[in-house]
A = this chain, B = another copy of it.
Amino acid sequence: MKFTVNRSYFINNLNSVLKATSSRSTIPILEGIKMVLTDEGLVMTGSNTDISIELLVKAADDLQIASTGEIVVRAHLFSDIVRKLPGKDFTFDVQEGNQIKITSEHAEYMINGLDPSAYPRLPEISDDQSFAISAKTLRELITQTVFAVATDNSRPTLTGVSFTFSQKQIKAVATDSHRLSQRVVGVDNGPSEDLSLIIPGKNLQELAQLIADADEDLKVFLGDSQVRFDFDNLSFYTRLLEGAYPNVDRLLPATSSTSVQFHVSDLLSALSRASLVTHVNRTNAVQMEIDAENNRVNLTGNSPDLGKVEETVENLGIEGKSLTISFNPDYMSAALRASVTDIVVINFTEALRPFTVVPNDNEIDFIQLITPIRTF
């Protein structure tokens, strides 16, 4: 196995595979990247058992193949070496005993490779169940929900985002049982049969990063316990979470008795000031006092040790009754940062009942739910 490749072109590809590679794995071979060179090109595979990435660097001017073969190379060391090589190109040449000679200008490395037959196989996922989705749509669905997944493992399904794909729409839901985010988008060519799957939140964050610049369609392939996303020259595998996702529809309040509209930026900066004092408290809570008569919203943060902050937050209209309610400012800030509109509507019912944050545009099907805190 021997090839010569343009270094910066190669680094771009290597960076994607590195996302799936752990620098310290209990399975030592997974600290490596498997490299398989055929006449078609170089296939690089990285895996951390949670996600796997397989990437094809096509044979072309930038990649010249002298002889085919395969090897596993230590990912961390290899990436450091390639980054520091002096030349525009480098040559990668596997010699006897899995020794790899890497040369670039006057620098020559001879590093120990690992046996490629010891590298685990990736799951085979058939083409039977597959459909296309635009990269932009998927990226938005992820970033608008993934922050709300549970970070503790007491209910494993809640550490993932639940996706329901159908012919006409996709629904994504995440909740850690204190707050919830649900986004529904319409699509034209979803799967012919309805599909539900739960994908681990942190794997979705990696996927969202990988498709950050993509603007074409991804192809989604469904296996029994895995799902594969194909785009560009790359396949992204993630395991699925087993179990039934809770039915969250019944949690969403149908009516409200108080509604307030805010500019996202006004409320966000007031919350960041209030949380400066509340963050030291065990119960991190700010109080919002909605005075419907005087059309005034007051925000208060209080900490016995440090002091108190109080301010009037500009609102764009109050409907319904006056109300005083306390909530976690971090949940509210996360909900506001995910907003797709500059103005949001917050719908309350009672001081101890969950309230919703929605766009001020009925066309957008995006609802966030936050459970208040009892402070008395």
Contact = CB atoms under 8 A, between A and B. Distances in A.
B276 A77 contact: yes
Interface string A242-285: 00000000000000000000000000011011001100000000
A270 B312 contact: no
A84 B277 CA distance: 12
Contacts of A273: 81, 84-86, 107, 109
A270 B107 contact: yes
A269 B272 CA distance: 45
Nearest to A313: B106
Contacts of A110: 307-310
A80 interface: yes
Contacts of A109: 273, 277, 307-309
A109 B106 CA distance: 64
A291 interface: no
A111 B306 contact: yes
Contacts of A306: 74, 77, 111-112
B308 A276 contact: no
Contacts of A108: 309-311
Given A106-B312, A312-B106, A111 B307 contact: yes
Contacts of A313: 106
Nearest to A301: B109
A375 to B, nearest CB: 18
A363 interface: no
B276 A80 contact: yes
A305 interface: yes
Interface in A97-155: 99-100, 106-112
Given A107-B270, A270-B107, A312-B106, A276 B84 contact: yes
A86 B86 CA distance: 50
A313 B276 CA distance: 55
Given A270-B107, A273-B107, A112 B81 contact: no
A284 B228 CA distance: 43
Contact of A107 (B86, B111, B311): B311
Interface of A: 74, 77, 80-81, 84-86, 99-100, 106-112, 269-270, 272-273, 276-277, 305-314
Given A77-B276, A85-B273, A86-B273, 8 more contacts: A81-B309, A86-B269, A99-B307, A107-B270, A107-B309, A107-B311, A108-B310, A111-B306
* A-B residue pairs, 5 tightest by C-beta: A111-B307, A107-B311, A109-B309, A106-B312, A110-B308
